[in-house]
Amino acid sequence: MEFILVTQQARPHVALIQLNRPKELNALNLQLMAELRDALKELDQNEEVRAIVLTGNERAFAAGADIKQMAGKTAIDMLHIDQFSTWDQIKKTKKPLIAAVSGFALGGGCELAMTCDMIIASETAQFGQPEIKIGVMPGAGGTQRLTRALGKARAMEMVLTGKSISAREAEKHGLVNRVVPVELHLEEAFKLAGEIAQLSPVAVKLAKESVNRAFEAHLEEGLHFERKNFYLTFASEDQTEGMAAFVEKRQPVFKGR
């Protein structure tokens, strides 16, 4: 891996992926995206990993797709480039994925953070879709996810002007879970991931899938999906253990079975 750093057990059962092109503000070139796709796939299959934190550095989470790499491309070149496999892999990842964002989260960087399940932002984080300023528009979910999070008026202004919003504004509108001082943002993400990693991996997986359905389906279909997954948790040893531990007034030991 040249452009990302992967730590399988950064904390117990919590893996860390760090985007690592600091001089280019972690601009997402094709190799970085392919490395990210492969790392996510591997960590998602690793039974020792129960949650994944994705981060950049203090100055930049990611300043977008690599403009220098895209500059000379034609529409047909872009069509043939297999960029979507990374975004598909992010969506397919069954384990909770938490973005720890500091500094720039722009264009594809903002879209990457929004595709994660939760976002912990540092006070310096800024979120934006500046593609319009370079004559294009968001292409990896920005117009959809920003609109769902912020509402039409705010998303429209951001997408049509390219202006970013601060971490505090993002928090106010529910785009991020919380804002913490820069030096604490990664630790806060680990804390959240660690909390989830102690719970039943079976229940966590089904619950994540169900929350995501709220965005992807109509209410009736989402409720139906949620109910089916709820019943399915009763097929797990973790459900038996969790409820037995409650009754016996002890801590449960979850095995992901």
Q: Is 183 a catalytic residue?
A: no
Q: Are strands 14-19 and 4-11 parallel, antiparallel or unpaired?
A: antiparallel
Phi-psi domain of 153 (left: phi exceeds 0; alpha: psi -120 through 50; beta: other)? alpha
Nearer to ligand DAK, 83 or 177 (CB): 83
Min dist. Cβ of residue 104 to ligand DAK (A) = 5
Q: Which member of 10, 65, 100, 125 is catalytic?
A: 65
Nearer to ligand DAK, 111 or 117 (CB): 111
Binding mask 136-175 for ligand DAK (x = CB under 6 A): ---xx-----------------------------------
Please, which of residues 84-143 interact with ligand DAK by CB under 6 A?
Answer: 84, 87, 104, 106-108, 130-131, 134, 139-140
Question: Does the CA dihedral 237-242-244-248 come out positive or negative?
Answer: positive
Nearer to ligand DAK, 106 or 204 (CB): 106
Task: Tell me the number of residues near ligand DAK by CB under 6 A.
Answer: 21
Min dist. Cβ of residue 57 to ligand DAK (A) = 12
Work out whether 56 is an interface residue with ligand DAK (CB under 6 A): no
Nearer to ligand DAK, 90 or 197 (CB): 90
Q: Is 131 a catalytic residue?
A: yes
Binder to ligand DAK among 1, 38, 41, 67 (CB under 6 A)? Answer: 67
List of residues contacting ligand DAK (CB under 6 A) = 24-25, 27, 63-68, 83-84, 87, 104, 106-108, 130-131, 134, 139-140
